[in-house]
Amino acid sequence: MLRISLFTLLLLISSCYTEKAEETRVVSPFLEWENFNPSHDDLFFPIGVYTQNPEHAGEYRKLGINLYYYLWKGPTAEQVDELRKHGMRLISEFNEYARENLINDTIVAAWTHLDEPDLVKFSKKRLEAMGQEKTKALVKEMWPKMYDEMNLDNEVYNGWGFGYSPEYCRDQYRDIKGYDTTRPVIMGLSKGVVSYFNGRGDRKGHREDYREYAEGAGDILAFDIYPVAYGYPEKMHMVADGVDSLASWDAGERPKFVAIECTFGSPDHEIATPAQIRSEIWMAIIRGARGIGYFVHNFDKEGKFVRSDGLLANPEMMEAIEKQNAELLSLRKPIFAKETNEVSLINDEQPVDFVAKRVDGYLYIFASANRPVAIEAEFLVEGMKNGVVEVINENRTLEMKEGVFTGRFTDSFDVNLYRVEL
Torsion of CA 77, 81, 83, 88, to 10 degrees: 110
Give the pLDDT mean for 189-199: 86
- Report which of residues 364 and 10 the model is more confident about: 364
Compute the mean pLDDT over every residue in the chain, rounded to the nearest whole number.
92
Report the distance separating Cα 273 and Cα 18, nearest Å: 46
Query: pTM of the prediction?
Result: 0.92
Query: Among 277, 335, 243, 254, which Cα is nearest to 36's?
Result: 254
Report the distance separating Cα 299 and Cα 80, nearest Å: 27
State yes or no: pLDDT of 17 exceeds 70. no
Residue 382's CB is within 10 A of a number of other CB atoms, namely 11
Give the pLDDT mean for 80-97: 97
Burial of 257 (0-12, 13-18, 19+ CB in 10 A): buried
267 — pLDDT class (breaks 50, 70, 90): low
State yes or no: pLDDT of 170 exceeds 50. yes
Contact between 113 and 133 under an 8 Å Cβ cutoff? The reply is no
- In this prediction, residue 283 carries a pLDDT of 98
Give the pLDDT mean for 93-100: 96
24 — pLDDT class (breaks 50, 70, 90): low
Torsion of CA 284, 220, 255, 162, to 10 degrees: 40
For 145-149, 293-297, 302-306, which range has the lowest pLDDT when averaged over its residues? 302-306
Burial of 95 (0-12, 13-18, 19+ CB in 10 A): middle
State yes or no: pLDDT of 338 exceeds 70. yes
Contact between 70 and 91 under an 8 Å Cβ cutoff? The reply is yes
Give the pLDDT mean for 307-329: 96
- The packing angle between helices 274-287 and 315-330, to 10°, is 30
Q: Which residues of 76-88 are buried (b: 16+ CB within 10 A; e: fewer)?
A: beebbebbbebeb
State yes or no: pLDDT of 11 exceeds 50. no
- In this prediction, residue 304 carries a pLDDT of 81
